[in-house]
Amino acid sequence: MSQGAGAAIFGCAGPALDRNEAAFFRDADPFGFILFARNVANPDQLRRLTDDLRAAVGWQAPVLVDQEGGRVQRLRAPFWREWSAPLDQVAGLGLQAAARALWLRYRIIADELRAVGIDGNCAPCVDVATALTHPFLRNRCYGDDPATVAFLAQAVVAAHLAGGVLPVIKHIPGHGRAVADSHLALPVVAADAATLEATDFLPFRSLVQAVHPPLAMTAHVIYDAIDPDQPATTSRAMIKLIRTSIGFDGLLLSDDLSMQALAGEIGARAALARAAGCDIALHCNGDLAEMPAVAVAAGTMTPASLTRAQAALAARRAPEAVDIARLAAELSGMQGGQENG
């Protein structure tokens, strides 16, 4: 991979790329981009934007989005399907039926994303829901049992890859016990290490062993029993655990550096995430004034990170041929016609 050696992924400010953003991206050489609702107007506009982002860096850089469905979906009606929350999607279904429903759901989502030049989706959420999981996350989960979550996440990973979209598993090593919203505050999880290993960390380990997902995103969460001082994103101990105990060997992205769970100025956040072992610093808010500090602090990928990046890109393949209308009809039948589109 001769391009994209900058160890960052950036957002942009609006529905069109301006010349200052394009010039910065050309010089910064980021690994890729991430889009949000502010970047989305209609399919033709979105396809132009993804083309322009790639033209700015001169190669087929990955373009990511959060299209989980439910509250967290950036592409919405009237141009794209509306989806229920993932936890609602699987409610009342047996395990095999739930896995099929999620495969259908995310294979359809992958088709919609590829049509507008998006080839990465920040899903599945492999977090285990609890009675106390913060509402910002709870219904984005797939269940409250680690084995169930792992099994269903496998279906989601498979659906994305079949649709030519790279899945980004999150929030490794597990966000479900957090009772604070990490967009607004730093969650602290007080569970002991044995409990974390048997619950929160388990579905990630199982998923990694089963399907070797190409990318993952960290949790901005302190796990008191392992590192009481730093959230996983900036903790050497937690990144070591992700690499060794959980066994994830793919490309590791920080969660958004702009979130208020992290302290300090934006460049320092990027530097801490990279020093802890994140391969990529993720900067989402589209504020061009902040991006140079992130680019400098993130630097370029190490040889090990480049190897992981190349492996992730190698998993990005042409979609398998499929009849989307037939898949949508099957899913609608499973759900009593509740999904739109």
d(C-alpha 291, C-alpha 29), whole Å:
12
183 included as an active-site residue: yes
Q: ∠ CA(255), CA(210), CA(72), 5° rounding?
A: 35
**In this structure, what token pair is assigned to residue 117?**
């030049």
Neighbours of 79 (CB within 10 A): 15
Beta bridge partners of 188: 222
Among residues 119, 127, 200, 255, the one annotated as catalytic is 255
| Burial grade of 317 (CB within 10 A; 0-12, 13-18, 19 or more) | middle
Closest CA to 252 of 236, 265, 264: 236
Give the angle 232-237-240 at the CA atoms, nearest 5°: 95
R_g (Cα) of the chain, nearest Å = 19
Using DSSP, state whether 278 is helix, strand or coil: coil
Annotated active-site residue in 183, 212, 224, 287 = 183
Q: Active site includes 29?
A: no
Residue 297's CB is within 10 A of a number of other CB atoms, namely 22
Residues 153 and 124 sit within 8 Å (Cβ to Cβ): yes
Taking alpha carbons only, the member of 150, 54, 49 closest to residue 102 is 150
Burial bucket for residue 244 (CB in 10 Å: 0-12, 13-18, 19+): exposed
- Residue 124: is the preceding peptide bond cis (ω within 30°)? yes
Instruction: List the catalytic residues.
Output: 183, 255
